[in-house]
Every structure is written in C-alpha cells, then in structure tokens.
Amino acid sequence: MSLSEKFAGITLSAAVMAVSAQVAAQNNGLVLEEVIVTSQKREQSLQDVPISVSAFGMEKLETMGIDELEDIGAKVPNLFLNHFNNDASTVRLFIRGIGQNDVQLTQDPSVALYIDGVYVGTSIGSGLETVELERIEVLRGPQGTLYGRNATGGAVNMITQRPDLEEFGFKQSFSAGNYSLFKSKTSVNVPLGESSAVKFSYLVSDRDGMTENLGEGEDWAVEDRSGLRVDFRSRLSDTWMLDYAFDDSDIDDTSRLEMIHDATNPAGLAVFTTEPIPGRPDKATSARPVGSSEAKVSGHTLTLTWDYSDNLTIKAITGYREVESLVDHDGTPTVNILGSNPASSSVRDTVFEQLTQELQFIGSGLDGRLHYVGGIYYYEDDSEQTSVAAASVLGPRSPLDYTSAENDSLAIYGEATYTPKSMERLHLTLGMRYSDDERQAFRVNENSPTFAALGGFTESNCFDPYFQGAGCPPTPGATVEGADYKESFQNFNPSFTVAYDFNDDLNVYGKVITGYKSGGTSQRSANPVAFGQGFEEEDVVSYELGIKGKFVDGRLAFNAALFRMDLDGWQASVQTGSTAGDRDFTPIDGTEINGLEADLTFLVSENLELSVGYGYLDTKMGLDKVETLLSTGTVQVTEVVSEISYAPESSYTVALDYSTMTSIGELAFHLGYAYQDEAVTSLNEFDNLPTDSRGLLDLNLTLSGIELAGGELRVSLWGRNVTDEEYIIVNTGSLRELFPGGLLGLSPWTTWGDPATYGITASWEY
C-alpha cells in the first residue's frame, strides 16, 4: 500500500467513524476540552495550528506519570528517544528519523529542546526531572523559521507551572515502588502582597539498580536524583509582567547494563565470549568497579512581558544554563573464561555554559486579519570535555583526549498570517529566518600525529585535574598544541503555509518549510586535518499536507499530516580511525523521508475517552556507500544501510481513560499501550544491529478529590511495562562482519529497556 493510500485510508476511516458516531450518539452537552499550545510562540488552539503537534496537559502528565523528558519516548508516534553511550543524563531525541546519533560538543542537536522558552544547547544533562510541569508539546517536522538552526527534525517544548498571584498553595506527593523506589515532590506557593508570588519546589528520587552487580561497585541503573526550583512572578503594572526562575538538579545515576547479546564465538579462547545471552539478565558481574555518573544542571530564566497595546506584546527572554557532567562508563559482557570483563571503560568530564537572549514581538492588525510573530535571537556557549579510557579489556585507564568549543549565533526571524477580507476562510502564512553562526573548537586526540609528537599527556602539557592518578598531574598555566577549527555559516530559511477553514470545526493546510543545522567538526576525529576542515551545514525541505477537525458536536478530534522531507548534507558519523570512537562527519545528499501522522481523540461518553495515535516512516538514504580520505592518504569505503537510524516504520499508541464519581471522590482508570517497530541503529552496514520491535503497556488507577484536613488527597496505583516486555533501546555491532567472533571486544553490544515497574503515589494539595 502506498503512502498516499495509507493517508487516504486513515482519513476515510476517521470520517466513517465520525459519521457513525454522529448518527448513533446524542451529544448531551459533552465536548472535548480545548487544548492550548504555544507552538508558534503565541497561545493558540491545537486544532488551529498548522503543525503536527502532540501535547500533554497537566492532568494527562499526572495520569501518565510523566515528569521527565525520557517518559514521553514511547508515547508520541514518530518520536524515538534513548540515552547516548548509556549516560542517564544525556537523552537523544529523534523525530521523523532526524536526530543527533553521535552526541558531541562540536555538533548541534537536530531536535530543539526548550524549557520555558529557553533553548537547551546540548543533549548532555537533558535527562533531568522537574517537579511540576504544566505542559509538554512535541512539534514534529522542521521548525526552522521560529526555532532556528537546530530544529531540522522538530522541537520539544517543556512548560512549567507559574506561581499563583492570589492564593497560598501547598502540594506534597510521595511515591514508593519496586526496586525500592522512593520519590518525594514538594511545592509551596506564597503570594507576596497583591501583585507578586513566589513558588518553591523540591524533588528527591531514589531507586535501587535494575540489574544486580555481583562484582565490584554499584548495581546498574541506580537512580539518585534531586532538584530545586524557585519561581518568582510579579505584575509590575497593568502592562508589565516579570517572571524569574532558578532551577538546580543533581543526577547521580549509574548506567544501564551493557552486554554481549548475540555473539557466536568459539569456546576455549580467553578473550572470546563462550555463549550468547538469550534475554535481559537480572544480575551480572563486573571486573571493574561500577561507578555513578554525576551531572549537575542549573539555570536562570528571566522573562519580561510588556503588553504595549491590545494588539502588540513585546517579550524579552534571557536564559543562562550550566552543565557539569562526569560520566563513568563501563560495559559488561556475559561470562567468559576470564570472567565478566568490561569491553569498554571510559570517563568523560564535561563543563558546558550557555547564554541566550530573545526579543519577541507578538501582535495582530488589520482588524484581526493579520497575526504575526517576529524577533531577534542571540545564543552563545562555551564548553570543555576531557576523557580517559582503557586501552584494553583489562588495561588501566589513561588520558584520551581534550576538546574545547565556543559557538555564537545571531538570528532575526518573522512569521505572519494574513486572512484576505474577501476570503475569510483562507489563511496565508509567510515565514523567514536569517541565521549567522560562528563556531570554533580546539582538539587534542591521542591517535593524532599532533598528540604523538607531544609524547602524549605529560606533566608539561596536562590541563585537567581529573587525570591525577592516571599519569597526568595538572600543571597550572600549561599549554597544549593541537588541532584548531574555526568557521562561520549563514543561512536563510523561508516557509509558506496555506490553510483553509471549511467550517468552524474543520480545516486543511499545505506547507513548505525549511530547516537548517550549521556545520561544525568532530571532536572524535583522529585526523587533525579533517578536524580543521570540519563539515558543512545540513539542510532540509519539508512538504506537508494536513487536516484538523472536530466531529460529533465537538466530541471527536481528528488530526493527520502527510509529509515528504528532502535532506542535503545530512551529517553522518563514520568511523575514520583505528577504534570505533575515532569518527568524522561525512555529508550525505539526496536523503528522503516520507511519512504520515494521525491522532484521534473521542469522548465516547461522559466517563470514557479513547485516544489513538499512529506514525509511519519510509526513509531512503541518498547513497549506498561513503568514501572518506584518511590521514594515511588511503580512501576508506563505508557501506551504508538503506534506511535512517532510529526511524521505526510504524509506531502507534492507544489509550483508554475512564472516570466515575464515588461517595469519597473521583475514581479514574488509565490504560495506555505504545508500540514501535524495529529500528536501524547505524548507517554503517558493518555496525548496524536493529533494535527489536516493542509494545509497552501502562496502567494507572487513581482515586482523587478525597477531602482531608482542609485539602484534597489523591492516591494512584500505577504500573509501567506491566507485561515485563524485554526490549532493546541501544544495539551496537562494532565491525561485526569483519570480526564475527567478537575478537578484541568487537562483539555486538546491547542495552535493555526498563523491566516492569509498579508502585503507589499519594499526594495532598491545599
């Protein structure tokens, strides 16, 4: 079945369902609650926004137990989420198959993450929890006009709850579950006079490891987190509003277990695995002590809003964020003759700082026939990363590399929607953004000639205190020679949308939108020349047709989008050195992504709501091999898979929500099922090991509105992955076809998703 036939079939099915429901059911005053989003930087109804958006409001977030970014991974079709290099604090986002497969300081993410309007410039440290989210919006498809150079796949907006200026409020919740889970969330809202308020929020979350370590160190997948947030809001006058927020999070988790999953190695050789492991183990043994990975993330956000007139609002958003991350990464295969030994062992120490400033103009004119958003955006970051690694399976860790990077970006953008007076159902939207980016980086790599000429890290050229005890004591003021990179990029991104309202409840749209990701360089490059040359920008052009409608007198909402995306300069990470960690980015032109998304919500009765979401992707690489010039002068030919990584062909969600009133409160039941097809994990044919398909079932039973001590008590029994599905979230097969026996640790490596978890949450709110 062709893509257009799938789209037509889904649209026809929804129309038939709507007509059937219209005939069979009486309205009885029932109507779906309107969902408000800020996808276009102004408040709009979800049904009016010509974007494929999935939105989770406060009530749904609470029901589904979503309080961190990774919780939405399986709940949005055509969204794929996992961790990079098994780092619990580094979350990779892929929308419609576009994402950042190899997380580096010297390359931008492909999906823009925003917290309260402030762009998060690195995936490192993005796996933090928040105390009280008001809404999460997932914007699928390029958002180059309003969100800039880093949204070729889409954007994710996380919006927190603001202080209440009028009433004192207090909320406390406790959660307990298997694996000794304990979580506490506290928030206090305090009005200060008649026009100001402050809100304090605090989170503590602890959980034992999900895989027991019979060797040294901690268990795998331990969680130890805390977070503090302070929000201040003041209405300075009738037209001025000030919002300030400070957040501080500490993540001290251990990584999930990595293991050899499908090795078929001959027995009797000490460095080989003797047998495969059939599934996810409950325990394993590590020869190296397993340590926690520490991440400290803090930020300040200042927002000034000026309602200049009834038709114009001016908003200034200033954000500062800082990340300090120390990742202790050990991999552990199954038992072999030497015992269970890590085939990879490394430590990465990262410091990242960013500053953003955005000035927005949001307004309307021509008697409401013109709506516009425009602005000026500035961004800068400064970062450093040092690494140590084991040279062999049982060898000691030694200094590996150092990278520093600085980025500056300035952009001006605007988007305007015009409704002709003679055709009030027609809406024409024109958008454009101009970006000017400056990037520079410095790199020292142990495999580069420059590094070798320096004699490696010694007392005279060491610069990081973490290397103490690893043969590299720090020397204040010491300098190091290495490879330099400096480049600038300019880009113009236009967009055009035509939307038509058939009536107040049904509209269609067609759009052409472009996206851009600036060029850069690879901090893992073993070739100083290649590092200095870097790689060019990545461009995407997206064509999209969409329909948004409400039927059955507002009880059924159906939204669908059919799209095609053309990528040029797709930044592909290719191994170019002697180890899998030595990599450069090679541009690939002519890559295609075709697909569709459909979302349906039906208020079956006063007590029952049905939600269904579906996503389909058909991806095609622009070529079947990549040729890379190595520092040795030879040309490396890399066989390329035919599909894009982390782009499951089909993904869907089904949810049922039932509620009824009892004598003591409201009883609500939530059932949610999320499915994803298998997905390619690497563009390199030698490395590619697809993840398995997976279907995860979640349950939640809640009794709320219980009057207690002047407030309301809410109690929830919940379960995640209640069928204990075993599924793979990362699969790595380093050069498995060259070394089918797993020689020297080059066996396929697997990281499993979480097993069944369950617990109880009790919250009291005043």
Distances (CA, A) of 738 to 566, 743, 744: 33, 9, 12
* Range picked from 135-139, 544-548, 641-645, 684-688 for highest mean pLDDT: 544-548
How confident is residue 628, by pLDDT bands cut at 50, 70 and 90? confident
Mean pLDDT calculated for residue range 131-153: 89
For residues 16 and 14, give the distance between their C-alpha atoms in angstroms, rounded to a whole number. 5
For residues 646 and 92, give the distance between their C-alpha atoms in angstroms, rounded to a whole number. 10
How confident is residue 738, by pLDDT bands cut at 50, 70 and 90? very low
pLDDT score of 465:
38
For the purposes of burial, counting CB atoms within 10 Å of the CB of 613, is it exposed (0-12), middle (13-18) or buried (19 or more)? Answer: buried
Long-range contacts of 585-588 (CB under 8 A, 24+ apart): 585/102, 585/107, 585/520, 585/521, 585/522, 585/535, 586/535, 586/626, 586/628, 586/638, 587/535, 587/536, 587/538, 588/621, 588/622, 588/623, 588/626, 588/640, 588/683
pLDDT score of 27:
53
In 68-194, alpha helices (H)? none
Pairing of strands 212-213, 283-284: parallel
pLDDT score of 633:
67
Contacts with 764 (C-beta within 8 Å, 6 or more apart), sequence order: 171, 172, 173, 708, 709, 711, 712, 713, 714
Closest to 32 measured CA to CA, from 755, 480, 558, 652: 558
Residues 674, 75 contacting (CB under 8 angstroms): yes
Residues 641, 635 contacting (CB under 8 angstroms): no
The DSSP code for 164 is P
Pairing of strands 625-629, 426-445: unpaired
Degrees to nearest 5, angle at CA 158 with 315 and 84: 130
For residues 34 and 611, give the distance between their C-alpha atoms in angstroms, rounded to a whole number. 15
For residues 78 and 316, give the distance between their C-alpha atoms in angstroms, rounded to a whole number. 33
Mean pLDDT of the chain: 82
pLDDT in tens, 75-115: 899 999 887 766 777 888 999 999 888 888 898 899 999 99
Tell me which residue has tokens 């009280």: 132
* Domains observed in the chain: 3-765 (2.40.170.20)
* Residue 746 pLDDT > 80: no
Long-range contacts of 191-195 (CB under 8 A, 24+ apart): 191/164, 191/165, 191/166, 191/167, 192/234, 194/165, 195/165, 195/234, 195/235, 195/236
Of 146-155, 200-209, 458-467, 517-526, the least confident: 458-467
Q: Where are the beta strands (DSSP E) in 419-468?
A: 426-445
233: left (phi over 0), alpha (psi -120 to 50) or beta: beta
How confident is residue 389, by pLDDT bands cut at 50, 70 and 90? low
Closest to 114 measured CA to CA, from 95, 139, 87: 139
Of 422-436, 443-457, 511-525, the least confident: 443-457
Residues 147, 153 contacting (CB under 8 angstroms): no
For residues 56 and 64, give the distance between their C-alpha atoms in angstroms, rounded to a whole number. 9
Higher pLDDT, 162 or 101: 162
- Strand partners for 52: 140
pLDDT score of 348:
80
Q: What percent of the chain has pLDDT over 70?
A: 81
Closest to 448 measured CA to CA, from 632, 717, 622: 632
Contacts with 108 (C-beta within 8 Å, 6 or more apart), sequence order: 100, 149, 150, 517, 518, 520
Torsion on CA atoms 63, 64, 65, 70, rounded to nearest 10: -160
For residues 758 and 749, give the distance between their C-alpha atoms in angstroms, rounded to a whole number. 28
Of 227-241, 269-283, 564-578, 692-706, the least confident: 269-283
